[in-house]
Chains A and B, each alone.
Chain A
């Protein structure tokens, strides 16, 4: 299982990538190091322009690093051209060959590797079955739908049995329902083939539901690597907390701290204990982060750690978001309640309310 340290499929060591020359130089990747384990579903997550696609292209071989090395099973592949790397890519645009049929597309990689015809045919048939496209094998790629093109792109990349499969935002062009289906499909394919998947996305929900581990990137750097739960519950930096899921930010002052837990005082003089990441030494004025679902509304303001006025109630079906204008000012605080049939209390906008926090709900983070 991915939690246990396994062998590394890909090791990125101190990789820098600079585009342009002279004054127009832009560092797309600023000394990135990361290890991706064998058979892992690893996701590079970040906003556009964070360097995640650049890193993927360096692993694929479409670009070459300015500095650093990329190891595949211990061998440095950074100087190799793409056709000498046992790595295949599923492109965002699918990049299917328009002058070939579905079956010809899937067989292309094997054909280029010089495999015998019988083997290619058998493997293509197997792939068509795997992605459930047998019926459309003779079609041209322009004659099939986006979701089907997606499946063909996957089959084409998987057919040569690469050591690592790279996926560059492959689901971004699909509509919501198809995307959900393909997410499950991708997980199934990864389980069945046992190939290491490196998945690039800017969609945090996609990253959380599919990945074994996630690397959150911003401005050419990797900010945090961890399991989805790690990243969500124990974000290392404010950016990570902000980018993944909804988060409330609260100003406070550190009163005391010991063993990774700080006591923080709010303006209302209420105090709360909050964890903080290793290697970070919070002092003075700090920002606390609290997930909306880790806080609770109470109708009696006196019982709340912090208080405010209910400014807006947004109904989402499965849950309801309560926007609270805090008495101390600042941004609205959002509390998320799961809806149930027996919701005891109903709130009205304009009511004075208190907010309570669950145990360990708040964390102090680097800005």
Chain B
């Protein structure tokens, strides 16, 4: 009835109106994305450009840069110029710090995954009313500052700290175990700081898991271990990927934790870069180090995502 009443002119008018609506909505969408683009531009792209430019300049004696092109910052990453004869000598100091940092970040990611997965699974299998409470508990550490929490760890593990005093009082040990300012302390601090970033994406992924699939797998003769490896883990892969990225990348660039718990003795990349802008007074080197880190992370990410998403596809 209504279609019969529509004359050709009203039809074309309607079409015109629709086309206009599509055009305006597209324009509106572009307009809506503007604030985000401005923020990304000012706080993301622009600083990156500045860092990139600075890394090709010469360091001024008291910090800052001299406007003179140079690739010294990149050369200095792997080589040291001899003061007397100007030859380049291979020095792996920075490289070692980078490798150490990668190792810290990898170990942190793996242990966080091993601890976080059962935790997230436990949370996701609680009755729905209880789950939000568990999520709240996981987020409690975020309520206070990381620096304060890291200092608290320091008080727990130092020589006259909670653990050593307790062990001494119980007579388990007769002199304090040195934990503070060791690799162990840094590792502990990193685990503590980044575990929630693993648990939360894992939880959100496991919470969406259809547990009828788990039942189906049990029904088809899969043991508990097989259900885990063949059904639960493949289906929670998005959460695993997200969790690993959220732990690995910030752990790699961690600054506060290694500074406080490593006592400035055991450096990580973050501290190294900060040093160039502080006591090192070599801004171009700091910029180059930051960019090298970024490039390394991008390459690692590229391979990681390509491998893991491939696995999801092939079951």
**Which residues does A use to contact B, with CB under 8 Å?**
60-62, 81-83, 87-89, 91, 93, 95-101, 104, 108-109, 112-113, 156-157, 160
Question: CA–CA, A88 to B217, complex, Å?
Answer: 10
Pair A95/B215 contact, Cβ less than 8 Å = yes
Known A-B contacts A81-B218, A82-B218, A104-B315; A97 and B213 likewise in contact (beta carbons under 8 Å): yes
| Residue from the list B220, B223, B312 in contact with A108, Cβ < 8 A | B220
Please tell me if the beta carbons of A160 and B221 are within 8 angstroms of each other in the complex.
Answer: yes
What residues of B have a CB within 8 angstroms of the CB of A89 in the complex?
215-216, 219
Within 8 A of A (CB), among B226-261: 226, 230-231, 234-235
B222 within 8 A of partner (CB): yes
- Taking the complex as formed, is B85 at the interface, i.e. its CB lies under 8 A from any CB of chain A? no
Q: Pick the contact of B220 from A62, A101, A112 — CB < 8 Å?
A: A112
CB-CB < 8 A to A87: which residues of B?
A: 219
Other-chain contact of B221, A93, A100, A113 (Cβ < 8 Å): A113
> Residues of B contacting A113 with CB < 8 Å?
221
B213 touches A62 (CB 8 A): no
| Contact among B213, B215, B221, B234 for A109, CB-based, below 8 A | B221
In the A-B complex, the 6 residue pairs with the smallest Cβ-Cβ separation, listed nearest first, are: A109-B220, A95-B216, A112-B221, A82-B218, A95-B212, A112-B222
28 contacts between A and B (CB under 8 A): A61-B218, A61-B219, A62-B215, A62-B219, A82-B215, A82-B219, A83-B218, A83-B221, A83-B222, A87-B219, A88-B219, A91-B215, A93-B212, A95-B210, A96-B216, A97-B216, A97-B217, A97-B231, A98-B235, A99-B234, A100-B315, A109-B220, A109-B221, A112-B220, A112-B223, A112-B230, A113-B221, A157-B219
Q: Looking at chain B, what size class is its interface with the partner chain? A: 10 to 19
Verify A101–B219 contact, CB threshold 8 A: no
Q: Which of A81, A95, A160 lies at the interface centre, i.e. has the most chain B CB atoms within 10 A of its CB?
A: A95
Chain B neighbourhood of A112, CB < 8 A: 217, 220-223, 226, 230
Q: For the complex, would chain B's binding face be called helix, strand, loop or mixed by DSSP majority?
A: helix
Query: Which of A98, A100, A108 has the largest number of chain B CB atoms within 10 A?
Result: A108
Closest B residue to A101 by beta carbon equals B315
- B192 CB → nearest A CB, Å: 33
Q: What is the bound-complex CA distance between A91 and B213, given in angstroms?
A: 10
Q: Which residues of B contact A82 (CB under 8 A)?
A: 215, 218-219
Closest to A159 in B: B220
Please give 4 more A-B residue pairs, beta carbons under 8 A apart, in addition to A98-B235, A160-B220.
A83-B221, A97-B315, A101-B315, A108-B220
Instruction: Report Cα–Cα, A342/B231, bound state, in Å.
Output: 63
Q: Which residue of A lies closest to B214 (CB)?
A: A95
Cα separation A99 to B216 with both chains bound (whole Å): 14
CA A263 to CA B182, docked complex, whole Å? 98
- Rounded to whole angstroms, the CA-CA distance of A62 and B214 in the bound complex is 10
CA A61 to CA B222, docked complex, whole Å: 13
Residues in B with CB closer than 8 Å to A100 are 315
Contact B216 A91 (CB under 8 A): yes
Minimum Cβ distance to chain B for residue A166 (Å):
9
Q: Which residue of A lies closest to B211 (CB)?
A: A95
> Shortest beta-carbon distance, B238 to chain A, in Å?
11
Most buried by A among B210, B216, B230: B216
- Chain A residue at minimum C-beta to C-beta distance from B311: A99
Q: Is the CB of A99 within 8 A of B235?
A: yes
0 or 1 for each of B8-43: is its CB under 8 Å from A? (1 = yes):
000000000000000000000000000000000000
- Complexed CA–CA distance, A87 and B221 (Å): 9
Q: Which residue of A lies closest to B218 (CB)?
A: A82
Give min CB distance, B120 to chain A, whole Å.
Answer: 19
1/0 contact string of B190-217 vs chain A (CB within 8 Å): 0000000000000000000010110111
A319 to B60, CA, bound (A): 100
Is the CB–CB distance between B217 and A108 below 8 Å?
Answer: yes
**Cα distance A89–B315 in the bound complex, in angstroms:** 22
- In the complex, what residue of chain B is closest to A57 when comparing beta carbons? B215
State A81–B220 Cα separation when bound (angstroms).
11
Q: How far apart sit A60 and B217, CA to CA, in the bound complex (Å)?
A: 12
B residues 299-315 near A (Cβ < 8 Å) are 312, 315
A60 CB to closest chain B CB (Å) equals 6
Residues of B contacting A156 in the complex (Cβ-Cβ under 8 angstroms): 220
Query: For B217, what are the chain A residues with a Cβ–Cβ distance below 8 Å?
Result: 97, 108, 112
Distance (whole angstroms) from the CB of A221 to the closest CB of chain B: 26
Question: For the complex, what is the distance from the CA of A42 to the CA of B213, rounded to whole Å?
Answer: 25
In the complex formed, the residue of A with least CB distance to B227 is A83
